[in-house]
Amino acid sequence: MRALFLLLVAGYASGAAAALVLGTGALARWASALGAIAGASAGLALAAGACVWGAAFSLDAPDLLGVVGGMAFRLDALGAVFLALTSLVAAPSALYGAGYSRAWDGRPALRQVGFMLNAFLLTMSLVPLADGTLTFLLLWEGMSLSSYFLVMTDADKPEVVSAGQWYLAMTQMGFACLLGAFLLLQSGGPGSFADLRAAADALAPGTRDMVFALALIGFGSKAGLIPLHVWLPRAHPAAPSHVSALMSGAMIKMGIYGLLRVGLDLLGGGPAWWGGLVLALGAVSALLGVLYALMEHDLKSLLAYHSVENIGLITIGMGAGLLFASLEMPAAAALALVAALYHTVNHAVFKGLLFLGAGAVLHATGTRDMNRMGGLIRGMPWTAALFLVGSVAISGLPPLNGFVSEWLLFQSLLPGIGAPSPLVAVLMVLALGMLALTAGLCAACFVKAFGITFLAIPRSPEAEHAHEAAWSMRAGMVVLAGACVVLSVGAFKIVPRLTEVVAPLVGLPVPAPSFSVGWALQTPGGFARMSPTLVAAGLGLVVLAAWLAVKTFASRRPLRVGETWGCGRVVQTPRMEYTATAFAEPLRRIFAAFYRPSEDVSIDFHPDSRYFVQSISYHSAIVPWFERYLYAPVIARVRRWSERVLALQSGSAHAYLTYLVAALVLLLGWLVVTGQR
């Protein structure tokens, strides 16, 4: 295991070094990608070792950064799951990036991308292994900073710079909260996680609540929970596509990991309101995320808002787990956490796939605007098919993996209705309704995303001349699509492993009750049984049988290709087909009270007569609630304070020297005063 760990570090380090040293051509691209792939494979093997074969791994390095106490690493089952999903998304993304980064060939940005990507992957892979406060915080900050540089790759565009600013501000705010949380948790003692776990019981309830609240803010902002999600729809579209895939697929999951680690593992669970708050936040994030996603017609912003939605779903499971654990229902808590973890892995895989697909589209057409795409299925058949797989998976439709975790999430909420407190029952019913609505709206949104982008007639010359993605990009996507299928069909093997991961966190007796029996998944008490394997097999068989039956028995007349009928219209032009905005219009109207769109119609009349119209221009915008009512006032206030502080910066060298001398005098005076006591 130690060898695998060293290989992980060495792989990423060599990839980073190669990017710096080997120039700005294909060699550098491929060398850094291969280093990343090596590191990711080692990570996957390491995680498999810990999860599947139960091999333990720990490493204490007190000499590394010894001036601050050294670093410590330990791999347990929970960390292994997150390491596995990071590596699972990292390898295909790195492979994809090898072809995708050709856009920066010959420019220094290529060095930055290669180096920072490997640094990002290294720090992110090591976060789940951190076994001490300092190690954790250092790696966390490293992850944030390297991703910031990756977001700023195309720094010549103003919206990228703005996105980077928002991102940096939010991560630093989160980091400050995390610092506070860990400081409170340590309360002056040593910083290894084992010690923290032992000392947590002795903390006062008020302190524990404070730690949890700070951790929720800090980790929640990294995960993208509402209302701390505002950086997501800005940073993800601005970053290069394989970086977006990694950020959405792996980095935001580190927020989930942090909450699980601090909330369940270190603090050992808490009062019911913790779980209730997390559950409520998750339900709201899921619904609001998908509502905002519906209105987007920038493909990557749409995917970013869907990440907010899916984090909401994962958080629903996590909140339910925390809630049930505090209500002494360990089996129900275990099921909820298994659902959350499964969805975490699934989302990493299919969101990675979708972002890589969006990147291929961006690469081919040069635009992210769905209203300028269309008909790409002809020029990019592979990308289209793989994006379709991702769309079906994220909509939670059988037979793919999204459906399995949605089913588990549904079933995990049902036991809550039997809980003694009526408030919990009401919360569960509301969460169930919001979960169902979110699932339906997600399917609607992906019909739009896939249909408008890939189907029908091209809406612009760029879409007409789109070319298929490079083989490395396609290979990365194929790996992730394959993972989607495996994660669905192999559910009956994966769920028991996840139950073992979760059992110590909720106090389930060992051997833990298995949530799978034979080929099927089963919930506690035999409440429900379902077999994704059989559903997938059955579906495939029936479709095949139908196709064969039609082929044999129906007419043998050949297919004729003609113009679209369209109720007798003679010619079909791109102007006649539905646009992304049009597709989402009914939902925009239905939820108008929520969106509050602003509408502006201006009509240009003919100068000679008011009965003839020259042009009509329609402009509509939706400003998200939180930006208008939460962030804008806060930012305005901070700006006003900064302007007042600006008064100190007078620009005069004399003033600055005076400040220095005054500070020195004060310090000496204070030393004298305290020395005399």
String of DSSP letters for 234-260: HHHHHS-HHHHHHIIIIIHHHHHHHHI
Tokens 């609001």 -> residue: 288
Residues 459/373, Cβ–Cβ less than 8 Å: yes
Shortest reach from residue 444's CB to another protein, in Å: 4
Residues in region 434-453 near another protein by CB under 8 A: 434-437, 439-441, 443-444, 446-448, 450-452
Q: Is the dihedral of CA 14, 15, 20, 21 positive or negative?
A: positive
539 binds another protein (CB under 8 A): yes
Q: If binding is defined by CB under 8 A, does position 102 make contact with another protein?
A: no
555 near another protein, judged by CB under 8 A: yes
Which one of 67, 202, 204, 559 is in contact with another protein (CB under 8 A)? 559
Distance CA 5, CA 47 (A): 10
Would you say how long the chain is, in residues? Answer: 677
Strand bridging mode 520-522 / 516-517: antiparallel
In the complex, the smallest distance separating the C-beta of residue 363 from another protein, rounded to whole angstroms, is 21
| DSSP-derived 3-state class of residue 71 | strand
In the complex, the smallest distance separating the C-beta of residue 536 from another protein, rounded to whole angstroms, is 10
| CB of residue 34 to another protein, shortest distance in Å | 35
The CB-of-93 to another protein minimum distance in angstroms stands at 27
Q: Which stretch binds another protein (CB under 8 A): 307-315, 544-552, 641-649, 653-661?
A: 544-552
Minimum distance of another protein from residue 445's CB (angstroms): 9
> Which residue in the set 189, 366, 433, 669 belongs to the binding site for another protein (CB under 8 A)?
433
Spatial distance between the Cα atoms of 445 and 291, rounded to a whole number of angstroms: 9
The answer to whether residue 291 forms part of the interface with another protein (CB under 8 A) is no
Which listed residue (561, 570, 571, 621) binds another protein by CB under 8 A?
561
The least distance separating another protein from the CB of residue 83, rounded to whole angstroms, comes to: 31
Number of shown-chain residues binding another protein (CB under 8 A): 90
Nearer to another protein, 278 or 439 (CB): 439
Does 490 bind another protein (CB under 8 A)? Our answer is no
Helix (H, G, I), strand (E, B) or coil at 74: strand
Q: Does 507 bind another protein (CB under 8 A)?
A: no
Tell me the sheet residues that pair with 604.
615
What is the smallest separation between the CB atom of 434 and another protein, expressed in angstroms? 8
The dihedral built from the CA positions of residue 231, 236, 238 and 243, taken in this order, carries a sign that is positive
Beta bridge partners of 192: 132
Taking CB under 8 A as the rule, does residue 590 contact another protein? yes
- 527 scored as a contact of another protein (CB under 8 A): yes
551 exposed, middle or buried (CB, 10 Å; 0-12, 13-18, 19+)?
exposed
Cα–Cα distances in angstroms (integers) from residue 374 to residues 367, 371, 451, 457, in the given order:
12, 8, 8, 5
Q: Residue 457, interface with another protein (CB under 8 A)?
A: yes
Contact 390, 354 (CB under 8 A): yes
In whole angstroms, the minimum distance from the beta carbon of 88 to another protein comes to 25
Return the structure tokens found at 545.
């049988």
Is residue 315 within 8 A of residue 278, CB to CB? The reply is yes
Binding test (CB under 8 A) with another protein, winner from 557, 619, 639, 644: 557
Please identify, using beta-carbon distances, which residue of 149 and 492 lies nearer to another protein.
Answer: 492
- Residue closer to another protein by CB (options 246, 332) is 332
Which residue, 52 or 545, has its beta carbon nearer to another protein? Answer: 545
